[in-house]
Amino acid sequence: MPLYKQIANNIKEDIADAKLTSGDAIPSETNLAKTYGVSRVTIREAIKQLVEEDILYRVQGSGTYISHEKIEHNILKLQGFTEEMSELDNNPSNEILEFQLMPADQEVRDHLKIGEGEKVYYVKRLRLADYEPLIVEESYLPVDLFPDLSIEVMKHSKYDYISGKGYKIDRRFGELIPKMPSAEMIQHLQITESDPLLYMQAFSTFKDGTVFEYSKIYFHPHKYSFKVVSSRNGE
């Protein structure tokens, strides 16, 4: 067995013996090299393997951490972030990165099915659970549907606000694709430039078919997995 693989196994055993848990940092490459009596190159290869196995993850400019148990997001269930985190006994919160009233461009008009000159709210939020960043969400919402939308509203559950206005949320139509992170996403989600994001582009409708939101959602690659349940021949 190559030396770096032996060291990777040793690191895994020592993580277990030290009872380290998700989010805990491991020692620096220099300290690990001294501990195991090998070169930093060997340590770097061992850590690379553990990152590929999703046992560790790197935070640019900070260090290497033990991976979280991933949130299994059911993409077939239309559920708000606040609701989903609360069910998992996580404490959800939102940081408003940007909030503005703006004319809708062609892309937004096409998804929201609104006319030229109509205005939308553009809201960018960093969504956290237990103070850890999980999602960056960009939302476009028609002003005509939500004239009283505010920063304070968007600090809380968007779906609770919408339901409270008497609207019946029905469906979300989306596409999920891998995407390399921008410098902004690296900063907000605390990932490295080599971590591919899970990116969803979607629009959502009420029961009467009205499109009420167009969104772009960036999921943390080390903290989310997507669950699908399939059946054969409708069974």
pLDDT tens readout for residues 105-132 = 999 999 999 999 899 999 999 998 878 8
E strand intervals along the chain: 56-59, 63-66, 71-74, 92-103, 119-129, 132-142, 169-179, 197-206, 211-219, 224-227
Domain 71-227: what homologous superfamily?
A: Chorismate lyase-like (3.40.1410.10)
Q: In CATH, which of 1.10.10.10, 2.60.40.730, 3.40.1800.10, 3.30.70.20 is domain 3-66?
A: 1.10.10.10
Res 232: pLDDT: 66
Res 13: pLDDT: 86
Q: Where are the domains of the chain?
A: 3-66, 71-227
Res 228: pLDDT: 64
Let me know: does 61 contact 94? Beta carbons within 8 Å.
no
Res 137: pLDDT: 94
What Å distances lie between residue 76 and 73, 127, 142, 163, 227, CA to CA? 9, 21, 25, 20, 8
What contacts 24+ positions apart, CB below 8 Å, involve 99-102? 99/123, 99/124, 99/151, 99/154, 101/143
Let me know: does 60 contact 222? Beta carbons within 8 Å.
no
Lowest mean pLDDT among 24-33, 100-109, 202-211: 24-33
Contacts of 211 (CB under 8 A, 6+ apart): 111, 112, 113, 203, 204, 205
Fold match between domain 3-66 and domain 71-227? no
Q: Which residue bears the tokens 């919160």?
A: 93
Res 194: pLDDT: 83
For 157-183, what is the mean pLDDT?
A: 91
pLDDT at residue 16 greater than cutoff 60: yes
Quote the percentage of the chain above a pLDDT of 70: 85
The sign of the torsion formed by the CA atoms of 95, 158, 191, 21 equals positive
